[in-house]
Amino acid sequence: MNLAAETQTRADDFRPRWWLRHPQLQSALATKSPRRRLWLRRGSTMEAAAREYVLDCGGGVRLVGYHSPQPAGRAPRGLAVLIHGWEGCHDSAYLYSMACRLYAQDWSVFRLNLRDHGGTHALNPEPFHSARLDEVLGALRAVRALDAVRPLVVIGYSLGGNFALRVGLYGPAAGVQPQLAVGVSPSINPGATLEAIDRGPVLIRHYFLDKWRKTLRAKAAAWPGRYDFSAYRGITSFVATTRRFAVEHTEYASYEDYLAAYTLTPRMLMNAPTPLALLTAQDDPVIPFRDFAGLHAQGSVLACETPARGGHCGFIENLALECWAERKILDWLERFTS
């Protein structure tokens, strides 16, 4: 049944306290808040159940993830695979908190680390890049062999949101069929995202450049003599860094070809073979809201929420660090997978 008509875009559902409204504060709280520590202090049953797996993704590629199945005797509502954003990991505050909430609602959870994330630089010789969808699909096939409970949902944040939506687009042809794929603050137009980082606040640009330099150093250290990333230290533009990296360390002939490999359009999403749901803030300092022009709850897009505030992957409501996006996603799962 097409439920798109039931969920229309609403811009006024999320109303944080006035002192929480700044987009940079919301974005910082997404990753720097103590939500993971709060869950651990409460006695996170998701963490207690977690087991590490090294997944065979095909072609010699291995990725690491953490599986938290529901305990024996309790029928899980389904399996949720969570994908972090660029330079995040399975323990990132936004992802960990979502995983705990899902687990508390009787979902089994798998937190997937993308290549070279979560300290896995030594696992595969070639470096991570954002167009590596095949290995993520391979990881999902391996996860399904490990835990075949249905329904399967995939939830991603930022770049992970782009991956989740691409799983919805290309997964069925590769034997991966989620019942719902969710993108939170998804980077659907990576070229515009890179330019927004360069044009945005200096602190945000420095934050992302510092993250990239650190991961390049970690990759070089993990594979002595194989990589020399010293030239990247002097580049102060995120676009320029990506332009050089795309030509030198991906299979694409140009920066433009590389970006095209993981660019998504509203038309593509609304015609996807998998039901999708998206949530993005109009004040996101990293993901330009204009990229979503023309996208609404129609066709395969069952829900498209675009609140005026929320920053990048934030959506924090109060001092208790309650996250509106988590409640929204749980509501979608209740409505679209039952």
Label residue 4 by pLDDT band (50, 70, 90): very low
Q: What is the 3-state secondary structure (H, E, C) of the chain?
A: CCCHHHCCCCCCCCCCCHHHCCHHHHHHHHHHCCHHHHHHHHCCHHHHHCEEEEEECCCCCEEEEEEECCCCCCCCCCEEEEECCCCCCCCCHHHHHHHHHHHHCCCEEEEECCCCCCCCCCCCCCCCCCCCHHHHHHHHHHHHHHCCCCCEEEEEECHHHHHHHHHHHHCHHHCCCCCEEEEECCCCCHHHHHHHHHHCCHHHHHHHHHHHHHHHHHHHHHCCCCCCCHHHHHCCCHHHHHHHHHHHHCCCCCHHHHHHCCCCCHHHHHCCCCCEEEECCCCCCCCCHHHHCCCCCCCCEEEEECCCCCCCCCCECCCCCCEHHHHHHHHHHHHHCC
| pLDDT of the residue at 251 | 97
What's the confidence (pLDDT) of residue 35?
83
**pLDDT tens per residue, range 96-141:** 999 999 999 999 999 999 999 999 999 999 999 999 999 999 999 9
Distance (Å) of CA 186 to CA 8, 210, 264? 18, 21, 10
* Residue ranges of domains in the chain: 4-193+265-336
pLDDT digits over 235-277, tens only?
Answer: 999 999 999 999 999 999 999 999 999 999 999 999 999 999 9
Q: Using the predicted structure, report yes or no on whether residue 311 has a pLDDT greater than 60.
A: yes
What is the per-residue pLDDT across 163-177, written as a single tens digit (0 to 9) for each? 999 999 999 999 999
pLDDT in tens, 7-65: 344 445 788 888 999 999 999 999 887 888 888 887 789 999 999 999 999 999 999 99
CATH fold of the domain at 4-193+265-336 = Rossmann fold (3.40.50)
Is 319's pLDDT higher than 90?
Answer: no
Q: What are φ and ψ of residue 24, in 5° steps?
A: -70, -35
pLDDT digits (tens, 9 = 90+) for 58-89: 999 999 999 999 999 889 999 999 999 999 99
- The predicted-structure confidence for 177-221, as pLDDT tens digits, reads as follows 999 999 999 999 999 999 999 998 888 888 899 999 999 999 999
Mean pLDDT of the chain, nearest integer: 93
